[in-house]
Structure 1
Amino acid sequence: MHQTQPRVPLPPPLTSDVPGTWAFDTMSRRVRTDILARIFRENQFQSHVVLRLQQLDTELSAAATTPLSLLPHDGGPDIIVWNEHILKSFVQQRCTWLSAPWAVAEFYLYRRIMTAIDYFKTPVDPFQLQKDLGLTSSIDSISALATRVNQILHNPSIPITSESTLQHLQTFVFISLWGNRIDLSLWPVGGADEHTVKATGGQRSSQSFASVLQAGQKMILSNHMTQLVSYISQLSAPCRFDIIVDNAGFELFCDLCLADFLVCTGIANVVHIQLKAHPTFVSDAMAKDVSATISFLQSIQSQQGADTSASILGHRWAKHLSSGKWKLCEHFFWVQPQPMWQMPSDLHADLSQSALAFVKGDANYRRLLGDLHWPFSTPFADVLCYFPSPVCALRTLKAELGCGMDPVQTQRAAREDDKWLVAGKYGVVQFCDTRSSARSQ
């Protein structure tokens, strides 16, 4: 029997009313000085939109005493879910921006922004400039990584044995986890070319990948990579994989590198890329951002006008979309605050068809855990046993919650950095075969 929620008692939720916490700083300061201020600065709205945003800013300036309110009917197809299933009880209790669960208040903020800018009448992304900068400012990193990816996946002279495929899998998982924190100097261009393979029997290439993996593991507080690779290696045929992505920009590029690897090696016959249904959390990725990323890559030419590694990658990814090997899937659940064990039945049934779902990023991880105060040592499988498919969480820590972490590792991190929970320098690779877990119950 499949679990419908974690099999251990649920702890209380994180709220934003505890001074000194990241949640408090976010909802009492950052949402105004960083998020709303950026929206005002980077967009030119009509006067009635500006007035609504100013009213929202006024509410947030008194976040400790201003209660949440129901959303007006603004044309959004999610309005009943928000008002009847998410907000109703908190509005009745007169919860404020700070006393409501942090996830509810934070997702509600972005939904209020959509109302204020008439998004469902005129779908303009108020964070588009930041998303564009996320690509253009990363062009050097994109080009460097594209060269290495193409050496593995595009050059038919490079043999990919089962052993090397699984080794490469680990590298692509780490790339998706760490993004621009991966030290590409440890993965030299040409490290796996035909001459090297013939001259060294692949030894130098293996050493290069080993260096990348070793460097990536140093800051991981919970590492289930061995279990993940073992599970994937035992899949009997090419399967569907899912990637529930987080941010646009270079992070999305790294996630798409993982999706590229999965289909090019035949590990997956299709990858469903799960995306946000409207702009949220500034940089969270939508279907249009995947398309924009591919178009951006295709446009990168050399000074002589020739194709570059990035443009070759972009053309291959466009073919993945047109052939159906990649499917872009937007859903409103991904822009709502409910715990993932309250996933709607249509999405639950769809994800149950997946051999594995990679869940990316801190905000998605918070929802995997229900944004609750779990003891850090609570086993990951005890919490994630409810998920509709086997699941692998790839998260860099940017919020004060977690599970499945050895006390030795968390104590080490706390000694090294008193902001270890929110600095984004530590990560987890956590895997749970929920189907095996269900069979063992």
Structure 2
Amino acid sequence: MPHTPPEPSVPSPPWSAPVLLADEPGSFPYSVLAERHPAIVGQVREAFPYGPDQQRALDVLLENCTKGVIEPLPAGASGHDLWAAWGMAEHTGRSWFDIPWLWSESWFYRRLLDAVGYFGPGPWQGMDPFRPFKLAELESAETDEELAALDDFADRPVEEQAEALLHGSLWGNRADLGFRLSDGDAEARAAVPALVADDSAALWSLLDGADTLCLVADNAGRELVPDLLLIAHLLAQGRVRRAVLHVKPHPYYVSDATTADVVDALRRLTRARGAAAAYGRELWSAMADGRLTVRAHAFSCAPLPYEAMPDDLRAELADATLTILKGDLNYRRLVGDRRWPPTTPFTEVTAYFPGPVAALRTLKSDVITGLTPATEAALVAAEGQRWRTGGTHALIQVRP
């Protein structure tokens, strides 16, 4: 049944702040459009033996995304009606740098898929341009080490295992290929163990015999694996009756997880050894009997905050005992991609969400809410504003 495009209007929140643009040279959003996106075009170009048509299309995209203006999708293009509902006409003819950063960043990935022929027709239809990067990470020595480590705490108390898996899922969010492509030193910087906000006690209280957990995934590979391990543990221990894993309907933001990435991750687990393989078999069985389902809603790739979610998605999340949103992009969409003062209450800017919601995120962009004044002051004193975007700090925030 075709998906009905959502209304483009977004209700005014009880709190407000300027929407983030990328029009300020030297700012983090500006660097993403001016530096990260061209780097990604280069990486994709090198990863596949694309023919002359794709090479020319990538050249056009590179020129357009750095120096041009938003050009609409042609009538009949895949997703045309959705993007029309999501504000395409409003932004057409404007510089990529002068419209909401969330919109222009999302638009880049949509046009990149066009350039490589993902939406077809043709032999490249459905070919994920980021797949080589995802698979390389999934097969890396780091993944081997992380899976082997599961054997070390298999006999530890269940609560200790749960905490370890929760933090594995949280810090797995550092495994962001788009982030690392533009910041080669990202993984070399040591993570700061102390969280800038920690509502994990509230999270566990909601996952005590819960009916349905919705987990909105972020990245594939080394982030998706710990997400799946956490789900497997929650199912096996009876903390949740069923889980719904939300992924993207098509490739997005380099490493964002799709259904194909879920299958790759499950296969990686099932052919591992020891505890990892047991988790893999549990997850495979859970998918077969319906305790774990995968959802790929069109709105997952929308360039809009979750406040604009369509009614069917709103109803689904309202029925969940808890929705966990993973990662930086989901956080930006959850709280609104705005210049919030860091002490803006997280519970206030997420009050619209249809059910209890939690955010698990490492900090890789400017947007942040829910900090105490003391925490913000300490971070600024120690690092200036680098703590916002360096990927070394993390948070767990909950709005019951």
Give yes or no for TM over 0.5: yes
Q: Which residue of 1 aligns with 2:267?
A: 295
Q: Distance in 1 between matches of 2:58 and 2:326?
A: 30
Q: Distance in 1 between matches of 2:164 and 2:238?
A: 17
Q: Distance in 1 between matches of 2:76 and 2:32?
A: 26
Q: Distance in 1 between matches of 2:105 and 2:146?
A: 31
Amino acid at match of 1:117: V
Structure 1 residues 231 and 238: CA distance shift in structure 2, 3 A: closer
Q: Which residue of 2 aligns with 1:29?
A: 35
Q: Which residue of 2 aligns with 1:128?
A: 131
Report if aligned partners of 1:6, 1:384 keep a CA contact under 8 Å in 2. Answer: no
Q: Which residue of 2 aligns with 1:388?
A: 354
Q: Distance in 2 between matches of 1:308 and 1:273?
A: 24
Deviation readout 1:123-144 (Å, 9 max, x if unpaired): 0000001100111113333322
Report if aligned partners of 1:67, 1:95 keep a CA contact under 8 Å in 2. Answer: yes
Residue 420 of structure 1 aligns to a residue whose secondary structure is: helix
Structure 1 unmatched runs, 5+: 153-159, 183-214, 301-306, 434-441
Q: 1:371 is matched with which residue: 328, 337, 343? A: 337
Amino acid at match of 1:38: Q
What is the Cα deviation at residue 313 of structure 1? 2.5
Structure 1 residues 181 and 231: CA distance shift in structure 2, 3 A: same
- Do structure 1's residue 280 and structure 2's residue 252 form an aligned pair? yes
Amino acid at match of 1:417: E
What is the Cα deviation at residue 228 of structure 1? 2.1
Residue 318 of structure 1 aligns to a residue whose secondary structure is: helix
What is the Cα deviation at residue 249 of structure 1? 0.9
Structure 2 unmatched runs, 5+: 1-9, 176-189
Deviation readout 1:24-66 (Å, 9 max, x if unpaired): 111011100x21000101012232122111100111341xxx2
Residue 284 of structure 1 aligns to a residue whose secondary structure is: coil
Residue 401 of structure 1 aligns to a residue whose secondary structure is: coil
Task: Tell me the matched-pair count.
Answer: 371
Report if aligned partners of 2:33, 2:66 keep a CA contact under 8 Å in 1. Answer: no
Q: Which residue of 1 aligns with 2:204?
A: 229
Instruction: Map 1:79-118; keep pairs closer than 5 Å.
Output: 79-91=80-92, 94-118=93-117
Structure 1 residues 73 and 127: CA distance shift in structure 2, 3 A: farther
Identity of aligned residues (%): 29
Q: Which residue of 2 aligns with 1:211?
A: none
Q: Which residue of 2 aligns with 1:14?
A: 20
Q: Which residue of 2 aligns with 1:54?
A: 59
Amino acid at match of 1:241: L
Q: Distance in 1 between matches of 2:52 and 2:40?
A: 19
Instruction: Map 1:236-255; keep pairs closer than 5 Å.
Output: 237-255=209-227
Amino acid at match of 1:174: H
- Do structure 1's residue 140 and structure 2's residue 140 form an aligned pair? no
Residue 337 of structure 1 aligns to a residue whose secondary structure is: coil
Amino acid at match of 1:130: F
Q: Which residue of 2 aligns with 1:439?
A: none
User: Which has more radius of gyration?
Assistant: 1
Report if aligned partners of 1:396, 1:424 keep a CA contact under 8 Å in 2. Answer: yes
Structure 1 residues 230 and 142: CA distance shift in structure 2, 3 A: same
Residue 178 of structure 1 aligns to a residue whose secondary structure is: helix
Amino acid at match of 1:131: K
Q: Distance in 2 between matches of 1:274 and 1:420?
A: 29
Report if aligned partners of 2:86, 2:303 keep a CA contact under 8 Å in 1. Answer: no
What is the Cα deviation at residue 118 of structure 1? 2.3
Structure 1 residues 260 and 254: CA distance shift in structure 2, 3 A: same
Q: 2:168 is matched with which residue: 169, 172, 175? A: 175
Q: RMSD of the alignment, in Å?
A: 2.2
Q: Distance in 1 between matches of 2:23 and 2:194?
A: 30
